[in-house]
Amino acid sequence: MDNINKKSILCLLDPTNMDPLYTFHTNSIRQIENSFIRFLYESINWDQRMLALKGPRGAGKTTLMLQRIKYGLGLPSTKALYITADHYWFYTNTLYETAEKFYLNGGRFLFIDEVHKYPRWSRELKNIYDGFPNLKIVFSASSALDIYRGEADLSRRVLTYNLPGMSFREFLMLKGILRLNSVSISDIECNHEELGAEITNQIQPLPYFKEYLKVGYLPIISESRKEDIPARLIQVINAVVESDLAYTETFDSGTANKIKKLLGVIAESAPFKPNISALARKLNISRESVYLWLTYLDNARLLNTLSREGKGVSTLQKPDKIFLENTNLAYALKDSPDIGSVRETFVMNQLTNAGLDVTLPEYGDFLTKDFHIEVGGKNKTGKQIQGIENSIIAADDIEIGYGNKIPLWMFGFLY
């Protein structure tokens, strides 16, 4: 038996030896760079005693935490430690015991990845928070997890941030093509011609935009061939439904398969106005199950749902329109998705991820901050929103807009 195997076995036999966690931390930190940092980093109040990072798989939550340790804190693993809740260490050690050992030996910053994979996460986090007032905790969790619904109440203790997939702006930054600050929806409406001129003087945005729509939503684009992205997205979908949702909503593999079938049915025609009874018949399930599973998929950031202004929010209430969460999913789940559907999915996604409240208006496709938005191709007219104040046409296949006709790609600079 070699020395490495002997050391591993001794670590497993000695529950007080945290070497496996320090080794895991060191190996994780070593591969992190700061050439690209997600937009959310600067918005986070890192001084908060307990922070939660939620978001879809592959959005970069782990990288964000590791960048904070390496470049924000610059402390050794004995002071700032990164762990993951599915590490074999937790076969024989509790989260609370780990935090206690770390704290008593001088640790002050604990970063916990994928906390939803630890069975008693909420109760032990509460105990850690209450028991070690000088310890700061950052944890990541699946989008599907309701942080405040655990067995222990964390609502007064934790500040939650949501990390979505990348905007078109971030995609250009990741690829080293263009660096530009985000803009508001008001900036786009008022200054889109100047912004368009500034950007098109540096790059031709349309080829990059088409690539982004197909494969550029998640940072995995930097470590994968473009042709491999759809298969990786299918793996992400399977992991979200079979693992993340199964952990958080406690259902079996049979239910997981039916939920994936529902997602497949939606992908065939999204965005669409749902007929709940028809979906229930097609899947041979109850209407209540359809409503519940739509909520699951929305919470897990596989769908976006849109309702009319003033309509209440309820699990058993039919949304007025259902979208896939991002355009990459459309290309992964269907060989040739309808381009009109892709355009609407993109606008819904970018508006939502920018933190804007979006509703379905009487006229036009979207309503946000009093802006009525109509989405279409380069020849799209404003007939549907004619005479409506603050109306915008988001037109595809144009580099620079004029009047209230704005390039579709420019909505990718909202965050």
pLDDT tens per residue across span 72-100: 999 999 999 999 999 999 999 999 999 99
- Residue 116 to residues 56, 111, 250: CA-CA distances in angstroms? 13, 14, 12
Question: Do residues 189 and 237 lie in contact, with contact meaning Cβ atoms separated by under 8 Å?
Answer: no
Q: How many residues does the chain have?
A: 415
What end-to-end distance do the CA atoms of the chain give, in Å?
Answer: 53
What whole-number distance in Å separates Cα of residue 335 and Cα of residue 301? Answer: 21
Residue 38: pLDDT above 50?
yes
For residues 172-194, give the mean pLDDT: 96
Q: What residue has token string 């988001």? A: 394
For 320-330, letters b (16+ CB in 10 Å) and e give: ebbbbbbbbbb
* H helix or E strand, kind and range, residue 367: strand 366-368
Residue tagged 């990072």 (tokens) = 53
Residue corresponding to tokens 């340790």: 69
> What average pLDDT does this structure show over 343-359?
97
Residue with tokens 């619904």: 149
Q: What is the average pLDDT value for the chain, to the nearest integer?
A: 92
Cα–Cα nearest to 342, from 236, 264, 270, 263: 270
Q: Is the pLDDT of residue 148 over 70?
A: no
Q: Report the pLDDT averaged over residues 151-167.
A: 89
Per-residue model confidence (pLDDT) at position 272: 86
Q: How confident is the model at residue 36 (pLDDT cuts 50, 70, 90)?
A: very high
Residue of 269, 242, 380 lying closest to 334 (CA atoms): 269
- Do residues 56 and 143 make contact, with C-beta atoms less than 8 angstroms apart? yes
DSSP 68: I
pLDDT at residue 12 is higher than 50: no
Pairwise CA distance, residues 113 & 84, whole Å? 4
Closest listed residue to residue 19, CA positions, set 96, 87, 112, 66: 87
- Whether residue 314 is predicted with pLDDT greater than 60 in this model: the reply is no
Answer whether residue 60 shows pLDDT above 60.
yes
Where do the domains of the chain lie, and which CATH numbers do they carry?
3-162 (3.40.50.300), 169-413 (1.10.10.10)
- Residue 387 is predicted with a pLDDT of 87
Beta bridge partners of 51: 138, 159
Segment 365-369 shows an average pLDDT of 95
Q: Is the dihedral of CA 149, 153, 156, 157 positive or negative?
A: negative
- Quick: pLDDT tens for 373-382: 999 999 998 8
DSSP state, 271? S
